[in-house]
Amino acid sequence: MSPYLLGLRLSGRRVLVVGGGRVAQRRVPALLEAGALVTIVSTSVTHALDDLIATGRVTWEARPYQVGDVDGAWLVQACTDDRAVNTAIAAEAEAKRIWCVRADDKEASAAWTPASGRVDEINVAVTAGGDPRRAAGIRDAVVEALRDGTVDARRNRTKPVGVALVGGGPGDPGLITVRGRQLLAQADVVVADRLAPQALLDELSPDVELIDAAKIPYGRYLAQERINELLVEHAKQGKFVVRLKGGDPFVFGRGGEEMLACAREGIPVIIVPGITSPVAVPAAANVPVTHRGVSQEFHVISVHVPPGDARSTVDWPNLARSAGTLVLMMAVERIGAIAETLTQEGRSPETPVMVVQDGTLPTQRVLHATLSTVAERVTTAGIRPPAIVIVGDVVKVGQEVEMVRAERVP
């Protein structure tokens, strides 16, 4: 017959675990997370259980099981590798009307331990007829669907309120964080940047209001002040608003301005950091921004205004003298002025440069050059934004990786 599923609230209640092997090692942490007072009876325990005992989280009686051990327990786990001992434990528990789980025999067990998982306040437990492998597989699928919003999160009666500033990552929709995807699935309104992962927008429920907050270079432009107003207006209407950005909200994303605008109006804000493009895009092109013996520092620079512009706060002479990696954002349109400034201020004209367009996307393009050739090569190749420019000897590391791979191809 099918089991009657029940969620036991074990906080402050004694649970007996007989056996100190790998099965007990898997089950004890979940019992502790539920607040149970766990006693282990076993002649020996694994290293992981020994650590829990040493920190006082578990009581250990280093001896074999004996009659009377189950007294005072609300739940018993029979986890020894001796069938006769497990049978005796189960029989005593049954006689005293205490629920007992046998790890060695699902048919003889009065209760089953489900494969369990948790996503926020949702607990998932699967028994699958007592088959632990099948139950774990189903549990994993359900937990993953809850995490990425595949299971309809918008039915949640305790949906978040206010505004969430969500970093969508460098472009590949698979690189958004689990938390970001959860909140996106719960949104009533999504205010999306041009560089936010567009594939995620196609997954939104039809009743979600989508606001295009694109800022196209030298083209259509939604002022930041208006974006701030939209966040506040919709949140005050009781809607949950997700501000979906490319990269990270606080790395040249103007997330700080949006957070302040909401704070001034008393609107709660959830911050979800994102994988930032200055690190992720070079990595997608096999270039580490730091590398032992090559570069122990890297600088991320926004070049929305060129070197020499009165509005620029960038210390170009200091960057030119640095041996660190330079990662340049919004630099394609001004690459000639940048290269000229860096060489004039001391960087070698032969410094390696890599330009990555559409990083992490299927349309990714990579161009290699030096400071002396990069401007001409970018123009000739027709490189366009969004693109990231990497300046420094770490570019050679990526080239070396490609050479090694090529040599290993049969």
What's the DSSP call for residue 114?
P
Nearest residue to 168 via CA among 139, 199, 129, 137? 199
Instruction: Report the C-alpha gap between 381 and 272 in whole angstroms.
Output: 36
Instruction: Report the C-alpha gap between 331 and 369 in whole angstroms.
Output: 15
φ/ψ of residue 153, rounded to 5? -75, -15
Instruction: Report the C-alpha gap between 277 and 290 in whole angstroms.
Output: 15
Instruction: Report the C-alpha gap between 62 and 64 in whole angstroms.
Output: 7
Q: How many CB atoms lie within 10 A of CB 368?
A: 17
Distance of CA 170 to CAs 181, 196, 227, 245, 359, Å?
14, 8, 21, 9, 7
Instruction: Report the C-alpha gap between 337 and 375 in whole angstroms.
Output: 9
Instruction: Report the C-alpha gap between 355 and 378 in whole angstroms.
Output: 8
Q: 164 CB contacts (<8 Å, ≥6 apart)? A: 183, 187, 240, 241, 242, 243, 269, 270, 271, 272
> Active-site residue numbers?
193, 215
Distance of CA 58 to CAs 16, 31, 68, Å?
10, 10, 19
User: In this structure, are residues 31 and 11 in contact, taking their beta carbons and an 8 Å threshold?
Assistant: no
Place of tokens 């349109």: 333
User: In this structure, are residues 288 and 258 in contact, taking their beta carbons and an 8 Å threshold?
Assistant: no
Q: Is 367 helix (H, G, I), strand (E, B) or coil?
A: strand
Instruction: Report the C-alpha gap between 369 and 354 in whole angstroms.
Output: 6
Instruction: Report the C-alpha gap between 161 and 234 in whole angstroms.
Output: 11
Beta-bridge partner residues of 302: 329
